[in-house]
Structure 1
Amino acid sequence: MTSETLPRVRADRPGRPASTGRGLLKHALIILFGFVMLYPLLWLLSSSFKPSEVIFREPSLLPSKVQFDNYTDGWTALAHPFEHYLMNSAVIAVLAIIGNLLTCSLAAYAFARVEFPLKKLWFALMLGTIMLPIHVLIVPQYVLFSKLDWINTILPLVVPKFLAHDAFFVFLMVQFIRGLPRELDEAARLDGCGHFRIYARIVMPLCLPALATSAVFTFIWTWNDFFSQLIFLTDPDKYTVPVALRSFMDAQGQTSWGPLFAMSVVALVPIFGFFLAGQRYLTRGIATTGLK
């Protein structure tokens, strides 16, 4: 047996440099593609430290002259300091997160654990709403909210979140709840718990990865939402960050590229911070939902 295994070990040794070379090539390609993906962000960051007149004349990522005037000028360039628009976006994003986590989790629990007539049909109709583009819905929504006198308020951007409006998050939580053992529900029911106590004390604590995933995506999508906020918010005092950034392109009939890029970098900081804070739960939520 020893004489038979030795040639195999010796035969395998010459292959190691080739496999190592392939591994290095794969890592080099990944780094290259990663740099290509990050290049627009790096260019934005670099341009925020350049004078506006040389931004498009210097292709280098390293500015020849670093200046911070773009940040100070951009912060006070509009009718209000930029923190005003950051606060407006933060209020809408926080309310949207609360609404989505509360109502989407309730709807998901109903679809996953409660039996009611035409359950499969309602679930299919709910999933069908994911395929409807916002451009189809925005006109009837605007007519409805106009009749309710909600235009130029945050209500059109917040109230639908408290009505399980985002079917994607309902589906995400349904898939996660279906993977939880039903024995937990049966044990709680033997102790006298109803659906709401099972939902609040058993299901929701176990759904923390799915809730964190929903919170992260809700924050990112709400923070970056430009179209809906542009339609429903007409008062400059109520502008959010995306709409305020658009205002830099109208100031004095020309685009202030330096302050615009500087405030764009500032607007990206909360997104990166929120994503990094929930990255651990985000990975767990996506992985476990996909497996179940």
Structure 2
Amino acid sequence: MSTAPGLAAVRTPRQSRPAHRPRPPLFGRRLTRSPLLLAVARHSGLIVLLVVMLYPLLWMVGASFRPDNKVFTTLGLFTGDFTTSNYSSGWSGGDQLNFSRFFLNSLTITVLAILGNLLSCSLTAYAFARLEFRFKRVLFALVLGTLLLPYHVTMVPQYILFNQLGWVNTILPLVAPKYLATDAFFVFLMVQFIRALPRDLDDAARIDGCGHLGIFCRVILPLSVPALGTTALFTFIHTWNDFLGPMLYLTDPDHWTVSQGLGSFLDATGQSSYGSLFAMSTLSLVPIVGFFIAAQRLLVEGVATSGLK
């Protein structure tokens, strides 16, 4: 309804009142007005969680410096009895327990496994991400389907095959499958990473005269360093900590890995040397922690990113 000229519009009481805004709850208002309190609560929770997660590891390190008869006497990290004999006795170990040999065997198997996964998984991923061929989707689905198969399902057929090939008591059963792109997770990871790379780079390299091998070596691999670093890190951790595989195929103590050497400290008759066990367990964590710190940046980029920035 229009008003007459010269007359001011009459405002009703409802219109003259400001809009009523509900006040936030007292607890929420205090938190929003006190960012310092919220930050303190968040960091306190993270510190408590960190202590809970690191305490078993710190206790193991502390127990490695105790005598065998006082390893389980306290839940504290350190006691008054301090000794380094567990490291010397555990490293020498006796006639069949030579941890320098175990570390060398584990390092050899791990390095070969990393090289195999980097080579085979990257080539397979390039084929699925860039090439076009018949039954491509079917083959890729079969590769991903192997992720649903537990290792224990294929353990017996693999052992029979490797035994017939004469590979038992050698490192070949632990290394050779890595060169055949048998780790489907890493194939999938690198396929997703390569698919995010622009194809214009491939076209530019093809104009310069590069074939598929040149594009793979000069374009794809340099840009896939984060995915390669993630693959190398996960392969290192899995291979270094693997116990079932070496237990199946490596029967000679000269071929044992670190995980088998640690298991030798446990005796079913109760004559276990826990001090030496914790000492060698502490040393076995050093390569993993060092490699993880060195490849941490590549791990974050490989998992969190999916293309060029």
Which bin holds the TM-score, normalised by the shorter protein? over 0.9
Is the contact made by 1:73 and 1:259 (CA closer than 8 Å) also made in structure 2? yes
| Cα distance in 2, alignment partners of residues 205 and 212 from structure 1 | 11
d(CA) in 2 for partners of 1:57 and 1:189? 69
Shift of 1:62: 1.9
Q: Residues 215-235 of structure 1, C-alpha deviation per residue, up to 9 Å, x if partnerless? A: 111011000000011001111
Q: Which of 50, 53, 61 is matched with 1:37 structurally? A: 53
**1:265 is matched with which residue?**
282
Question: What's the CA shift string for 1:228-266, capped at 9, x where partnerless?
Answer: 110011111100000111011139851100000000001
1:141 maps onto 2:158 in alignment: yes
Indicate how the Cα distance of structure 1 residues 252 and 121 shifts in structure 2: closer, same or farther if over 3 A, else same: same
Is 1:110 the equivalent of 2:118? Answer: no
Unaligned residue ranges in structure 1 (runs of 5+):
1-12
Matches of 2:62 and 2:53 in 1, distance apart?
15
* Structure whose CA Rg is larger: 2
Aligned to 2:69: 53
The CA distance in 1 between the partners of 2:189 and 2:237, in whole Å, is 17
Query: Equivalent residues in 2 for 1:1-292 (5 A)?
Result: 18-78=34-94, 79-250=96-267, 254-289=271-306
Cα distance between partner residues in 1 of 2:49 and 2:271? 35
Indicate conservation of the 8 Å contact 1:210/1:282, yes or no.
yes
User: What amino acid is the match of 1:30?
Assistant: L
- Please list the CA deviations of residues 9-58 of structure 1 after superposition, one character each: whole Å capped at 9, or x if unmatched: xxxx9766533212211110111011101111011101001111111111
Q: Matched residues in 2 for 1:277 and 1:252: separation? A: 41
**Percent of pairs identical after alignment?**
55
2: CA distance between counterparts of 1:15 and 1:102?
53
**If the length of structure 1 is used for normalisation, what is the TM-score?**
0.92
TM-score, normalised via structure 2 length: 0.87
Deviation at 1:66, TM superposition (A): 1.5
Contact 1:172 1:289 in 2 (8 A): no
Distance 1:175 1:139 in 2: 32
